[in-house]
Amino acid sequence: MTSTTRVRFAPSPTGALHIGGAHTALFNWLWARRNGGSFVLRIEDTDLVRSTAEFEMTILQGLRWLGLDWDEGPDVDGDHGPYRQSERRDIYLEHAMKLVSSGQAYREGEAVIFSVPRGKMVAFDDVVYGHIEMASDTLKDIVLIKSDGFPTYNYAVVVDDHTMEISHVVRGEDHISNTPKQILLYEALGWEVPTFAHLPMILGKDKKKLSKRHGATSVYEYRDMGYHPDALFNYFALLGWNPGDEREIFTREEAVEMFDLARVTRKAAVFDMDKLNFVNQAHIARISPLERARHTVPFWKETGLDPDSRTEEWLAEVLDLLEGRGQTFRELAEYTDYFLSFEPVKKRYTADDIDEERREILKSFFSTMLSLSSWKPEELEVMAKGWCDEKGVRLKDVAMPLRWALTGRKVSPGIFHVAVFLGRDEVRSRLSHYGLV
RNA sequence: GGUCCCAUCGUCUAGUGGCCCAGGACACAGCCCUUUCAAGGCUGCGACACGGGUUCGAAUCCCGUUGGGACCGCCA
């Protein structure tokens, strides 16, 4: 019937967009884009008590942030709407009544219940898990319409996937056990059964289902921790799938090109922050300096700094000095605070580790340094090495005090690069604050 | 309890009977580089859950055991 690929992501708006949901949405999106098909977004809001419009909105925003765009959905017109289950009640009722009149379902109270046929073997071939079968005798009758007039999940999903002409049902492995029930419903309704592809679950470090106990579970938390959406996308794609070669860092477009449902793995995967950090660092290294700066701005602001008083080019240059240091935008902001202001340096460092004897040596070195004719990193380094040789001092004995005075930290990029970028006047001013010049 | 699914380094995985006394990546350790920390380069540590089969040959196929997980709601 449907020759084109149509997949869907069907979240229920009872919470933020969680990692598991984002992972499922991602694989659906990948499959749709890979095949030039459609990605449909459907809101499963039949749980009156827990569903809210706010959650629906955050889920949509979360998907957008991740770069997962949909072709049809509650906010995008299509030929298969409406896209909220709460707006499709007449459709569910209509088909349920057909089952009642054909004797395959019965009423009990206000509800409509499907009688599961006895002695049947229900089987399907899952793209990921292979052949699965289950005896219908192990199933209880299935509630179709609840007493409140709303459909149940297992019923609504069948009606929707059929009427929306979904070709591939791609969802979490926790739905494998529901699949035979749904197939029975497809058959009773006389509908063609779609192709199923179940995805492995994502677990926490302790191999238990991911929950709040494992820390951040909503995609927004990752955004706020300083992860790039492309990196999260890349990392999610690697959970339960791999391209077949040894590439691990790739763009959205590259993933679309390489993706194949047939290569999805079956084992539940543990969400590993260390690997995510590595992937994020790799993406930060790949994006342009300007984009890096734009992503870091909110984090500078968060620590009370004022990046708006600088040009984007200047900010990008600052970040460039980091040369790979930092795994998140939050760290990038942290590691460069001293470029934007001397205040954080003063808070971190007081110079009370320097005794008088040491201070005299340093003053001598810094005055030579500040009077250098050329203010370039290489020149500063050559001068410093020469000076140290002559005085019988180790380079680190002058480089570290300089680092402390300029950055307030024991680690930083090459300190002569920092000094040059800060400028001779600013360096003199910071050194003089500590009485070192 | 019933049904279903899963099982390769700590983690993500490659592997579909011989190319595997198992390859890559993260993490970890060491070395190189070096003014610190990163980055980068090199090296190392480290796994086929167990027991039976089938086969000339098994991580790969079959059976069982053990261990995980999911579902069994008028939740989704």
The C-alpha atoms of residue A353 and residue A402 are separated, in whole angstroms, by: 13
Query: Taking phi first (over 0 means left), then psi (-120 to 50 degrees means alpha), and beta for anything else, what does residue A293 get?
Result: alpha
Mean pLDDT of A364-388: 94
Q: Which residues pair with A151 in a beta bridge?
A: A145
pLDDT value of position A135: 95
* A324 CA → B20 C1’, Å: 36
- Residue A159 to residue A27: CA distance in whole angstroms: 22
Instruction: Using the predicted structure, report yes or no on whether residue A236 has a pLDDT greater than 70.
Output: yes
Task: Give the model confidence (pLDDT) of A57-98 as tens digits.
Answer: 999 999 999 999 999 999 998 999 899 999 999 999 999 999
Per-residue pLDDT band at A20 (split at 50, 70, 90): very high
User: Which residue gives the smallest C-alpha to C1' distance to B39?
Assistant: A324
Distance from C-alpha of A22 to C-alpha of A220, rounded to nearest angstrom: 11
According to the model, what pLDDT value does residue A212 have?
72
Q: Predicted ipTM? A: 0.95
**Nucleotide closest to residue A46 (CA–C1'):** B76
- Angle A79-A83-A88 from CA coordinates, rounded to 5°: 100
Closest residue to B36 measured CA to C1′ = A411
Q: Which nucleotides of strand B come closer than 7 angstroms to any CB of the protein?
A: 2-8, 10-15, 23-27, 35-40, 68-76
Q: Does residue A202 carry a pLDDT above 90? A: yes
**What is the value of pTM for the model shown?**
0.95
3-state helix, strand, coil in chain A (%, to 5): 50, 15, 35
Separation of A400 CA and B31 C1' (Å): 24
Residue nearest B27, CA–C1′ metric: A274
Tokens representing A200? 């492995």
Catalytic residues of A: 212
What pLDDT sits at residue A3?
Answer: 67
Nucleotide at minimal C1' distance from the A110 CA = B74
Which nucleotide C1' is nearest A172 CA? B70
Rounded-to-10 torsion of CA A54, A40, A267, A278: -70
Q: Please tell me the total number of residues recorded for chain A in this structure.
A: 437
List pLDDT tens digits, range A31-56.
999 999 999 999 999 888 899 999 99
Nucleotide in closest CA–C1' contact with A278:
B26
Q: Which of A246, A339, A330, A324 is nearest to A283 (CA)?
A: A324
Residue whose pair of structure tokens reads 């205040």 in the numeric block: A343
Cα separation, A297 vs A365, in Å, equals 36
Q: Which residue is nearest to nucleotide B13 (CA to C1')?
A: A242
pLDDT of residue A162 exceeding 50, the answer is yes
Distance CA A312 to C1' B36 in A: 28
Gap from A139 CA to B1 C1', Å: 15
Instruction: Quickly give A33 CA vs B67 C1' distance in Å.
Output: 39
